[in-house]
Amino acid sequence: MGVAIRLNGVTKKFGTFAANNNISLAVEEGTIHALVGENGAGKSTLTNIIYGMLRPTSGEIAIKGNAVRFSSPREAINAGIGMVHQHFMLIPELTVAENIMLGNEECRLFSRIPLKRIRAQIEKDAEAFGLGINPDEKVAQLSVGRQQRVEILKLLFRNASIMIFDEPTAVLTPSETEQFFTTLRSMRDKGKTILLITHKLDEVLAVADTVSVMRKGELIGTLKAASATKPELARMMVGRSVLLKVDNPPSQSGKTLLSLRNLGFITPKGETMLDHLSLDLSAGEIYAIAGVEGNGQRELLQVIRGLAPAGSTLSGEATLRGCSLIGKTPREITRMGVSHIPENRLREGIILDYPVSSNLIFGRHQERSFHKGAGFDDAAIKSHNRMMIKEYDIRCSSPELQPISALSGGNQQKVVVAREFNRPGISLLILAHPTRGVDIGAIEMIHKKIIDARMQGVAILLLSSELEEIVALATRVGCLFKGSIRHEFSRDEVALKRADEHEFIKEIGLHIT
Amino acid sequence: MTKKTGQLVTPALAILSALLISTLFIRLSGQDPTMIFSKMVRSTIGSSYGTGQVVFRLTTLILSGLAVAIPFKLRLFNIGAEGQLLMGAFAAAITGSLIPETLSPALAIALCILSAMAAGGCWGLLAGVLKMQFGVNEVIATIMLNFIAQGITGYLLTWHFALPSTVHTAPIRSASGIPSIESLTGWFANSPANLSLLFSIAAALLFQIILFRTRFGYEMRAAGLQPEAARHAGINAGMHTLIAMGTGGAVAGLGAANIILGYKHYYESGMTGGIGFTGIAVALLAGANPVWIICTALFFSSLEYGGLTVNAWVPKDIFMIIEAMTILLVISFSALEKQFLNR
């Protein structure tokens, strides 16, 4: 087997900052090669260079032995490279077949599209790699997992022999992930070369042949996946040893705080999203909700946060210390001692254009201690922020000037965590995907803070799509399926089953699909 | 190039290239650009009357710029400054003519200004309510409200308030007139420049402080930048929409102080002359920043009056081209700058 992609001393500088520094790497033909690293390590920059979206400042690239200098993705595509981006590049209003042939209609502008031939080709590819799909369905109607199949079929249709996947499993359910890996393996066995960008180490070990680790723009090392271990990779990524599983001492629960009884939620369009959902949450415990996205998580959060959209129908009860939450505004609920980390940090948790310091008080700007006249007490905010930045290890150069958008995802999330965990008088903490898109180093810290908060008697409701996270943190686990808790693991069960993580994850998986 | 210097360099470059292109246009129209430009400079900042004319235009333009800029912070496009100003001007003129003769000047002026701001404010608020209650796009709502304002003021003037055989209302009581700058300092002789300028500048500074120094401004900017995040943080974004539209309208209405109370002393049809629309350009060029609006309003008012003074040689259409081109160039240049910084 030859070398599919060879990089020799590739450097990419943005101003004086080297996003990639002297990277030399060989990706063997017919292998699955994983590229791992924390956010901001330079993985995306490197793949964008290979895919022709960026031009390297210096260094050489050879595809299958031929030196190349791409000036656009079009040239990379012609050289047999294909890429599936983290956010799919599909047009929802078009059908599967139309999306796949887009840009490759194989006919002149005004002549008829050879639809029959194209459809046959798609069906052949789909069958060869177990990507069953209906070419005439509209993409908008497909699940995320199926949309990814369309992206893969697009590459196959263009005869790509080198395929780049950017964080492909971030949006998939556990079973979809399994299927996706099967597809990857079968593509490799038919001679395709696969470059997999990810930060999930378990997946790397499960599917990759070779692993390259990047840190701060440098290539730290390349090793065989078969002989690599998770702690070793984590150490290479972060540059120090990382505690992969947080210490979770037994808990003392107190009184019931949050109580949901037969909660129902019908959207303005008439879809039932919550259906007789009941659960109780006590002080000093972490109730984790496991479930595939779209089974009512968003609506559950909306009800508890007072953010249900106008026109939706709520039924049942949601009470905090006996006080109903339904019909209250977000500000009133916050005043009752509720703090939350929203599902989508970038859209809901921070103001990207505001400096770090303004974000550290965002949503807490109503607190008197920050006020002075009609404005803010800059000195009080500064000292509060300095404390937060230190305690949560938020890496930023000048919090008063630097917009939060300039920070890495992990540091942005640390800002949100610092802000929400330190609300005065907090008794209920709602965490939606607290570590999504966050580096391992930061995950370690956030997990510790979650356990700390629980030890201090805060009631915590955790929603996460990472089952490992749920197993590591939960006191009790509720399995959410089609808008209600289908199965609940009690405190004793969880304590017992935590010992065998993999078995437990499998068991949870059965209850949520 | 850093972001900060870019904010200065980009508009400057755009204005410079707009001037270069206008030089070309003047040349094409058969005139000598140096002669035209020097005439313009002499008859604006070169003469005390000309400067007064520019100051007069500047006063209203700052306010109509603010009227566009404040809602713009919430991503609302207020095309209705013209209608809001019309309503304000009409209200000020009627109030001014109806108040008792014996009222003290301070009270009389305050009453007229309040009625102007209330009329403009209601007109702006109406667009806000239409958006919040019925989901009517504010662009469409404010354009339509402009027509309606024209209709209402036109009807009321012709059928009820115009003095016989004229097209204007009865003059306001002398107590409600705002003194000219000339009467106090002797500057800008014979020009319409009056003390309303102080209101305009105060308004710009006040909004700068409100937007960037107060909790209200902090919430408002957040609601404009990321409405979802604002909702999650317990900010009532809908209330901010109403306040911003109402405030924008009230500020536009304040422009009446300059035109009616400071200069004309009565309402006459067509007296606003599209200054509410120039306000859009002023606000956009300034990036909706209140203090910058003073500068861009100065630029546009100089250009407008300067264009008028050389009307005998160069048609004023050429200056309309320059104004519009500057805006297009600023927008294109800032897009280029973004690409450049991201490269």
So what's the pLDDT on residue A107? 67
Q: Output the pLDDT for position B339.
A: 67
Question: pTM score, two decimals?
Answer: 0.81
Closest CA to A31 of A169, A194, A143: A194
A289 forms beta bridges with A463, A478
A348 and B218 within 8 Å at the Cβ level: the answer is: no
Confidence at residue B241, expressed as pLDDT on a 0 to 100 scale: 94
Could you give the ipTM of this predicted complex?
Answer: 0.83
Name the minimum distance, in Å, from the CA of B233 to any CA of chain A: 4
A358/B218 Cβ within 8 A:
yes
What residue in B sits closest to A346 (Cα-Cα)? B229
**Using alpha carbons only, how large is chain B's radius of gyration in Å?**
21
Q: Is the pLDDT of residue B1 over 50?
A: no
User: Which of residues B227 and B6 earns the better pLDDT score?
Assistant: B227
Backbone angles phi, psi at A160, to 5 degrees: -70, 135
B221 chain-A contacts, CB cut-off 8 A:
351, 354
Mean pLDDT of chain B: 90
- Please give, rounded to a whole number of angstroms, the shortest distance from the CA of A342 to a CA of chain B: 8
A440, A240 contact by CB (below 8 A)? no
Q: Which of B232, B235, B338, B342 to mutate to test the interface with A (most CBs of A within 10 A)?
A: B232
Q: Is the pLDDT reported for residue B341 higher than 70? A: no
Segment B25-32 shows an average pLDDT of: 86
Q: What is the pLDDT of residue A26?
A: 94
CA distance A250 to chain B (A): 33
Is the Cβ pair B225, A363 closer than 8 Å? no
Smallest CA–CA distance, residue B214 to chain A, in Å, is 4
Provide, as residue numbers in chain B, all residues whose Cβ is less than 8 Å from the Cβ of A342.
229, 232
Alpha carbon distance B194, B184 (integer Å) = 10
Chain A residues with CB within 8 Å of chain B CB: 305, 307, 329-331, 334, 340, 342, 344, 347-354, 358, 362-363, 365-366, 371, 374-376
> Do the Cβ atoms of B234 and A347 come within 8 Å?
no
Residue ranges of E strands in A186-271: 193-198, 210-215, 218-224, 256-266
The 3-class SS string of chain B reads CCHHHHHHHHHHHHHHHHHHHHHHHHHHCCCCHHHHHHHHHHHCCCCHHHHHHHHHHHHHHHHHHHHHHHHHCCCCCCCCHHHHHHHHHHHHHHHHHHCCCCCCHHHHHHHHHHHHHHHHHHHHHHHHHHHHHHCCCHHHHHHHHHHHHHHHHHHHHHHHHECCCCCEECCCCHHHCCCEHHHHHCCCCCCCCECHHHHHHHHHHHHHHHHHHEHHHHHHHHHHHCHHHHHHCCCCHHHHHHHHHHHHHHHHHHHHHHHHHHHHCCCECCCCCCHHHHHHHHHHHCCCCHHHHHHHHHHHHHHHHHHHHCCCCCCHHHHHHHHHHHHHHHHHHHHHHHHHHHC
- What is the average pLDDT across B187-209? 94
pLDDT at B325: 82
| Test mutation, B206, B226, B338, B341, chain A, max A CBs within 10 A | B226
Question: What type of residue sits at position A288?
Answer: A
CB contact under 8 Å between A365 and B232, yes or no, is no
Q: How many CB pairs under 8 A join A and B?
A: 59
pLDDT in tens, chain A (513 residues): 689 999 999 999 887 788 899 999 999 999 999 999 887 788 888 999 999 999 999 999 999 999 999 988 889 999 999 999 878 889 989 999 889 888 776 667 777 778 888 888 898 888 888 888 888 889 988 888 889 999 999 999 988 999 999 888 877 777 788 889 999 999 999 999 999 998 788 889 999 999 999 998 899 999 999 999 988 998 998 888 777 777 888 877 789 999 999 999 999 989 999 999 999 999 999 999 998 888 899 999 999 999 998 889 999 999 999 999 999 999 999 999 999 999 888 889 999 999 999 999 999 999 999 999 999 999 999 999 999 999 998 888 888 988 998 887 788 999 999 999 999 999 999 999 998 878 788 888 999 999 999 999 999 999 998 888 999 999 999 999 999 999 999 999 999 998 888 889 889 988 987
Give the tokens for residue B318: 């050429």
Q: Identify all chain B residues contacting A353, using CB atoms and an 8 Å cutoff.
A: 225
pLDDT of B190 above 70:
yes
Q: Mean pLDDT, to the nearest integer, of B62-88? A: 95
Structure tokens at B229: 């995040």
Q: Which of A141, A162, A139 is nearest to A151 (CA)?
A: A139
Residues of B in contact with A358 (CB under 8 A): 218
Residues of B in contact with A344 (CB under 8 A): 228
pLDDT, position A447: 94
Q: Answer yes or no: are the C-beta atoms of A97 and A119 closer than 8 Å.
A: yes
Crossing angle for the helix pair B196-213 and B215-225, nearest 10 degrees?
70
pLDDT at B7: 65
Which chain B residues contact residue A352 at CB under 8 A? 225-226
- Cβ atoms within 10 A of the Cβ of B213, count? 15
Q: Which residue has the higher pLDDT, B319 or A58?
A: A58
Nearest alpha carbon to residue B280 among B121, B81, B119, B136: B81
Residue A349: which of B214, B215, B229 has the nearest Cβ? B229
The crossing angle, in degrees rounded to 10, of helices B275-285 and B316-342 is: 30
Distance CA A83, CA A167 (A): 11
- Do residue A330 and residue B231 have CB atoms under 8 angstroms apart? yes
Chain length of chain A: 513
Residue B201 has pLDDT above 60, yes or no: yes
Residue B330 C-alpha, separation from nearest chain A C-alpha, in angstroms: 21
pLDDT score at B343: 46
- H/E stretch holding A416 reads helix A409-421
Nearest CA in chain A to B233: A363
Distance (Å) from the alpha carbon of B219 to chain A's nearest alpha carbon: 9
**Structure confidence at residue A247 (pLDDT):** 81
Mean pLDDT of B295-312: 89
Among B213, B234, B236, the residue with its CB nearest the CB of A363 is B234
Q: Is the separation of the CB atoms in A4 and A163 below 8 Å?
A: no
B213 contacts A347? CB cut-off 8 A: no
Roughly what angle, to the nearest 10 degrees, separates helices B290-309 and B48-72? 140
Partners of residue A307 in chain B, C-beta under 8 Å: 231-232
Give the closest-approach CA distance of B208 to chain A in angstroms: 13
Q: Chain A contacts of B215, Cβ < 8 Å?
A: 365, 371, 374-376
- HSE on the CB side for B3, CA within 13 Å? 7
Residues of B in contact with A56 (CB under 8 A): none
Contacts of A308 in chain B (CB under 8 A): none
